Structure 1
Amino acid sequence: MTSRGGAGGPSDQPTPTPQRRIMRTQTAGNLGESIFDSEVVPSSLVEIAPILRVANEVEPSNPRVAYLCRFYAFEKAHRLDPTSSGRGVRQFKTALLQRLERENDPTLIGRMKKSDAREMQSFYRHYYSKYIQALQSAADKADRAQLTKAYQTANVLFEVLKAVNQTQSVEVDREILETHDKVAQKTEIYLPYNILPLDPDSANQAIMRYPEIQAAVVSLRNTRGLPWPREYKKKNEEDILDWLQAMFGFQKDNVANQREHLILLLANVHIRQIPKPDQQPKLDERALNEVMKKLFKNYKKWCKYLDRKSSLWLPTIQQEVQQRKLLYMGLYLLIWGEAANLRFMPECLCYIYHHMAFELYGMLAGNVSPMTGENVKPAYGGDEEAFLTKVVTPIYDVIAKEAGWGKVGKSKHSQWRNYDDLNEYFWSVDCFRLGWPMRADADFFCEPEKSRELEKNGDGKPIGMHRRAAKVNFVEIRSYWHVFRSFDRMWSFFILCLQVTYLIFDS
């Protein structure tokens, strides 16, 4: 068993950079002009970062539009955190307001139109004709990232335009509304990506011409026979990761990242196969089995250690075997990608995956619930971000509370549990008492204060005690005697040497 990292798990493989940009929190000491140039904003105001980015981009060509973007960002920041309770929010808003006061008059003098509403509409038309249409006409030569960025900028400009026009009670021209509809449609296609552009217009990109990449993409888009939710709105070129997101409630960005992750894993192994497979968009079975073996190496060890059958059950129909393997691998990567700090507890991830893979098998097998008579559904449903809020967050809350009880390492080690201690809980078959869905009253979630409370029956008589899951194996007792215990062999050697010396000189 491994205590960290999970042998053969995704931690052994390269992971694409997350698509969401990380915004660091600023303090009063380093606020200034650079905060807007680097687009570093407080973590509670990350939604205004794209607006400030657009303001920096358009400022050289039209300072007034940049001012209006920053003003709209300030208003939005106030709506997001009206009391400025977030870390660094008050300093950030103060610095932004001071800059707006300095730039109002100079930019107003340089305004081309009679009103800000007309200025925004004029600039929006100019930006669409000069940048977006020019890039579209040269799409075969232009950098695809530039076109994606241009559509994102146009969306932000329209958002600011709409707010300015509403403030000044000016209607938006029909021509601009029609232009924005075109931009919105293209924005859904030209999505940000890390390495692989997977939208419908990406076939001409050099990286997408590799047969191994094409084979992995085609295999993932095989959704034949998957039971989609009734309320789900299907889109073009869906794949099995979209289905997993709809059924289990994973985050959108996590799905996008792990889609690229899985495709690259399969393609990298596929391209190294000897002898070379046929140069056709068909995934090599050897590559699929090799990646699956690496991903589930630790999970299978965990099942063997606890004497449990794994949830990796394959169908008897040969045509469905490849799809089932990809579903199992996709589910594991999505769990791993969204687990965050739970990755330090690989056996905990094995426990989560064990139950979710069993639910996956039940859904694909068409099992019917004896209670409702309907097809089996995941225990935590497919609500938006359900996995994060209902599975990851409760377990992480336990970790956070334990860290608080540790008092930054000052408390006795026997009184609180670290990552390894919590992970050891899942080394025993007793962990299955946690259930699925997980019981909130289980010993794993029990707090030290509650562990002292007596559990009473209907007559009010105590019948037992809530027991908090304690440490399983080694419990460190910190003492100065550790100096002697840790170097016991050295002290034994010295004593033996002393005895030998005494015997030699005594004789």
Structure 2
Amino acid sequence: MASSSGGGGGRRMTPGGDSSASAGGRRIYRTQTAGNLGDSIFDSEVVPSSLVDIAPILRVANEVEASNPRVAYLCRFYAFEKAHRLDPTSSGRGVRQFKTALLQRLERENDPTLKGRVKQSDAREMQSFYQLYYKKYIQALQKVADKADRAQLTKAYQTAAVLFEVLRAVNVSQKIEVDKSILETHNQVEEKKKLYLPYNILPLDPDSANQPIMLYPEIQAAFHALRNTRGLPWPKEHEKKRDAPKEHEKKRDADLLAWLQAMFGFQKDNVSNQREHLILLLANVHIRQIPKSDQQPKLDDRALDTVMKKLFKNYKRWCKYLGRKSSLWLPTIQQEVQQRKLLYMGLYLLIWGEAANLRFMPECLCYIYHHMAFELYGMLAGNVSPTTGENVKPAYGGEEEAFLKRVVTPIYKVIEKEVERSKTMKSKHSHWRNYDDLNEYFWSRDCFRLGWPMRSDADFFKTPNVPLHHVDGEDRTVGNGNWMGKVNFVEIRSFWHIFRSFDRMWSFLILSLQAMVIIAWNGGTPSDIFDRGVFKQVLSIFITAAILKLGQASPRRKRSLIPKDEVIPPLPNAPYHQGQNFHEKIVAKGILGVLNYREEVKLMIPMETHITS
């Protein structure tokens, strides 16, 4: 039963047009107290954020309304029921008004559309229209030889899928089985729908090879370069999926980004977006190369090196600043160099595309990429783990959306808690961390104490969970010894901050006042300033300016938020953070030992060449 959340009563109405008090059928109610909100929200397909899933249904209703108003009515009716299932209490923002307006429109359109219905029931009407739509639109577009109407065909497949969803819901409500011919048609639509996926600029599905943009030699060169998966160790689970009888065609669709997705657990849509992104980056640089390379669809190494240099500029500077070698290692076999470079660039773009708010923390992304690129190098080099004796595997890979859940989400939760703390507790700027403060943690070698996989008990992930207390005239937290706090500069504000922020304006006003007082005391006319004695007195404003500058020249202060009794001296050759406890120092020594061992392992492998800036 679908109903609006209002408390008013109303008449019962079923999609078949019967207005009765029978218990059978689906029921919707109209709120008596709500006014008519108009139909513009349905014409524009704008829905509340919590009901975004019904937007395609309303789009299809607007599309088919001109040809069959009854089918459009049934689509809106199904959208109303689905909206009620998504938010039965109408607690979302704008949901109550939206459902009320949609209900009013359904009541107005029920009788007129029922009279214009051709078939005896709504189920038969939906089946007839679905078959007609498939023959009139989809089959007609499929016969186009040059596939120039790919966008229209993609939209037609999406519309047919929505129509079948509404058709099935109507048949279930009226206890009528769907015809086998319609089920077969639906299966064909679903298979084609998987091929005609939404895209941004480049249609990369097999049926779109004749699209004009896909005929550029530079696009083809970058596309074929990404398809070179020779020698990559696919996971066993993915091999089973690729060898399945129904999915034998997926072998030809595998590329380098698909391999990175299978190994590191990136999202499918992120992989699709970054695939287009990387191809366009390479093609744009490739097309500008002078002299031109041969006309064969082969990616120019100069274009590859140019894009790679731009992408990893900040990462290499970060490694140099921290005194670390980058994780970009190339094989000595020339045939594998291009593949390795594309894998490094694809991994970076996939991390950036799925980083969400972590994009405001570029050095944090460098830290993540540093470890994941080293894992990539270990997998391709066939390294063996000293603990398990098996080949090296990604610390966070193997599952769908593993990168989002295990890497991005924990760091984002820290940001969320800090922001929530600043809003709810009304704390001072020195008592919570923002993006810059969290990112500054990755400006020093202390960040490597997080390890990989990142330790959940590290200071970086700790946030105070106790309320603020008023101590010595200011708000302070109790028991925040485990909180890392600010890393570098801490801004402490007071009511004097307004004078410091507008110091130039205050200085100008004070000096102007002094000059005007001197002129007024010696005659009061502006021409008196040319008098030699008055002019000497006016020059005293420079003495006042020097005094003001002296008062403004207060050095910046740093304040430690960690009790002094917990601070110990740093160990030799390891610059530790001043806010670490003793037991965390011991853990950090072990982490640095592992990192040093990792650097030694790098030097023990002579078959690889390191990329230098």
- Provide TM-score, normalisation by structure 2: 0.71
C-alpha change, 1:155 and 1:450, in structure 2 (3 Å) is same
The C-alpha deviation readout for 1:280-337, integer Å capped at 9, x for no partner, is: 1100000000000000000111111111111111112111111111111111111111
Moved more, 280-289 or 386-395: 386-395
Give the AA of the match of 2:491.
Answer: E
- CA shift at 1:153, angstroms? 0.8
Give the AA of the match of 1:470.
Answer: G
Aligned equivalent of 2:114, options 108, 116, 120:
108
Give the 4+ runs in structure 1 shifted more than 6 A. 487-490, 495-498
Partner of 1:350: 366
User: What CA distance in whole angstroms lies between the structure 2 residues aligned with 1:160 and 1:478?
Assistant: 60
- CA shift at 1:223, angstroms? 1.0
1:41 corresponds to 2:57: no
User: Contact 2:319 / 2:325 at 8 angstroms: preserved in 1?
Assistant: yes
User: Contact 1:249 / 1:382 at 8 angstroms: preserved in 2?
Assistant: yes
User: Contact 1:135 / 1:142 at 8 angstroms: preserved in 2?
Assistant: no
Q: Aligned residue pairs: how many?
A: 467
Give the AA of the match of 1:274.
Answer: I
User: What CA distance in whole angstroms lies between the structure 2 residues aligned with 1:134 and 1:86?
Assistant: 42
Q: How large is the RMSD of aligned CA atoms in angstroms? A: 2.8
User: What CA distance in whole angstroms lies between the structure 1 residues aligned with 2:438 and 2:37?
Assistant: 40
- CA shift at 1:371, angstroms? 3.5
1:441 corresponds to 2:421: no
Give the AA of the match of 1:146.
Answer: Q
Partner of 1:341: 357
**What runs of 5+ residues in structure 1 fail to find an aligned partner?**
1-27, 453-463
Moved more, 309-318 or 279-288: 309-318
User: What CA distance in whole angstroms lies between the structure 1 residues aligned with 2:440 and 2:60?
Assistant: 49
User: What CA distance in whole angstroms lies between the structure 2 residues aligned with 1:408 and 1:271?
Assistant: 54
The C-alpha deviation readout for 1:336-378, integer Å capped at 9, x for no partner, is: 1111221111011111111111111122222233333333222
User: What CA distance in whole angstroms lies between the structure 2 residues aligned with 1:91 and 1:415?
Assistant: 41
Which residues of 2 match residues 23-422 of structure 1 at below 5 A?
A: 32-140=38-146, 142-232=148-238, 233-234=241-242, 235=250, 236-407=252-423, 411-422=427-438
User: Contact 1:451 / 1:466 at 8 angstroms: preserved in 2?
Assistant: no
Q: Identity over aligned residues, as a percent? A: 81
User: Contact 1:59 / 1:65 at 8 angstroms: preserved in 2?
Assistant: yes
Bigger relative contact order (CA 8 A; separation at least 6): 1
Partner of 1:476: 491
C-alpha change, 1:305 and 1:101, in structure 2 (3 Å) is same
The C-alpha deviation readout for 1:448-504, integer Å capped at 9, x for no partner, is: 23699xxxxxxxxxxx97521221222222234345545768959969999x94597
User: What CA distance in whole angstroms lies between the structure 2 residues aligned with 1:361 and 1:45?
Assistant: 44
- CA shift at 1:440, angstroms? 1.8
User: Contact 1:302 / 1:347 at 8 angstroms: preserved in 2?
Assistant: yes
Moved more, 178-187 or 362-371: 362-371
User: What CA distance in whole angstroms lies between the structure 2 residues aligned with 1:208 and 1:504?
Assistant: 74
SS of 1:314 mapped into structure 2: strand
C-alpha change, 1:504 and 1:178, in structure 2 (3 Å) is closer
User: What CA distance in whole angstroms lies between the structure 1 residues aligned with 2:487 and 2:103?
Assistant: 55
User: Contact 2:147 / 2:208 at 8 angstroms: preserved in 1?
Assistant: no
SS of 1:231 mapped into structure 2: helix
Give the AA of the match of 2:456.
Answer: A
Partner of 1:428: 444
- Provide TM-score, normalisation by structure 1: 0.85
User: What CA distance in whole angstroms lies between the structure 2 residues aligned with 1:265 and 1:408?
Assistant: 44
Give the AA of the match of 1:211.
Answer: P
User: Contact 1:310 / 1:354 at 8 angstroms: preserved in 2?
Assistant: yes
